[in-house]
Amino acid sequence: MNGEFKSNRYIVSDDLMRSVNIAVALKKPLLVKGEPGTGKTMLAEAISKTFGKKLYIWNIKSTTKAQEGLYTYDAVQRLYDSQFGGKGVDDIARYIKLGKLGEAFTNDEQVVLLIDEIDKADLEFPNDLLWELDKMEFYIPETRETVTARERPIVIITSNAEKELPDAFLRRCIFHYIAFPEPSAMEEIVRAHFDSLDETLLHQAMGAFYMIRNVNGIQKKPSTSELLDWLQALQIGGVDPSVLSREIPYSGVLLKKNEDMERIAPPESKTPWRRN
């Protein structure tokens, strides 16, 4: 590892930088948790750029199995080949395809491996990866081969806290929680996304945005990505910034629930919540 992690383009807080450095030094996976839209995924890109290392992204879906990250054995292709006389059917290794974890292990250089949204998968998923992430190796029974990481990858894992992660898994990670950005930090993030933005519009919109987030009882608080979308909508729609102090145009971009829309609506149109 040469030099500590300092990012230039992506907005990384001091806290986060500290956690990244600790994770790299201790050779443990860094688990990053935070509200959606706080830039968890971009963090891995920033790290890979800063260290000049290749980035492997393993996107987790609800159907993803731990095995897929290691390797898959293409039995169908093999069966097909055997029936139609393809060459090399007896060589089982031809039908083993490495997954993202496998690829990261077999790379000659150290790489950054992002396991994105690990909480999307089944509850048992993280447990199935304990050994592999600990020892940085796995065994392929089909070929009786052990794949060992040549250079231990820097592992970044993100979670939206949709599911609780198992304790055994957590114990092996370095944990970082990205708090929702303060207005000043948010301004930086916004500026990083927009080339040109009307100053008045930015300040009025930010004010309205944090006001909405603080409204009591909002069920789905708007996040960074919604603010960015909203700003874009305001920009394209050519909304006069002074309107924002009275009403919220395009509120559907910010709020995704009917109840929340009603809550921020002006008093006369507000319908009281009923029990049935």
Partner 1 sequence: MVFTSLFYHLREKGLKVSINEWLALIEALTQGLAYSSLLEFYYMSRTILVKSEADFDKFDLAFSSYFEGMLNEGEIPEELLEYLSKPIEQQDYDQAEVDARTNLEFDELRQLLEQRLREQVGAHNGGKRWIGTGGTSPLGNSGYAKTGIRVGGQGERGSALQVAGRRGFRDFREDETLGIRQFQTAFRRLRQMSARQNAEKSELDLDQTIKRTSENAGMLKLAYRSPRKNSIKLLLMFDSGGSMEPYAQICNQLFQAVSKANHFAQLKIYYFHNCPYNRIYETPACIYPESMDTQWLLDNLSSDYKVILVGDASMAMWEMRYYTGGRKSRPGDQISGLAWLKQFVRKYDNAIWFNPIPQDLWDSSKGRESIARIRQEIPMYQLSVAGIEAGIRHLIAAR
Binding-site ranges for partner 1 (CB under 8 A): 14-15, 18-19, 21-22, 25-26, 28, 31, 33, 73, 75-76, 78-79, 82-83, 123, 161-165, 167, 170-177, 179, 217, 219, 273, 275-276
CB nearer partner 1, residue 80 or residue 194: 80
126 burial via Cβ count (<10 Å: 0-12, 13-18, 19+): buried
CB nearer partner 1, residue 24 or residue 239: 24
Close Cβ partners of 211 (under 8 Å, ≥ 6 residues apart): none
Please report how close the Cβ of residue 75 comes to partner 1 at its closest, in angstroms: 4
DSSP 185-207: HHHHHHHHH-SS--HHHHHHHHH
Bridge-partner residues for 159, per DSSP? 33
Close Cβ partners of 35 (under 8 Å, ≥ 6 residues apart): 160, 178, 180, 221, 223
Please report how close the Cβ of residue 145 comes to partner 1 at its closest, in angstroms: 18
Please report how close the Cβ of residue 56 comes to partner 1 at its closest, in angstroms: 24
CB nearer partner 1, residue 31 or residue 43: 31
Residue 77, SS3 per DSSP: helix
CB nearer partner 1, residue 19 or residue 50: 19
Residue 126 in contact with residue 69, Cβ under 8 Å?
Answer: no
Please report how close the Cβ of residue 236 comes to partner 1 at its closest, in angstroms: 31
CA distances to 6, 10, 115, 117, 195 from 17, rounded to whole Å, are: 7, 11, 19, 20, 26
231 CB neighbour count, 10 Å cutoff = 21
CB nearer partner 1, residue 193 or residue 257: 257
Please report how close the Cβ of residue 189 comes to partner 1 at its closest, in angstroms: 20
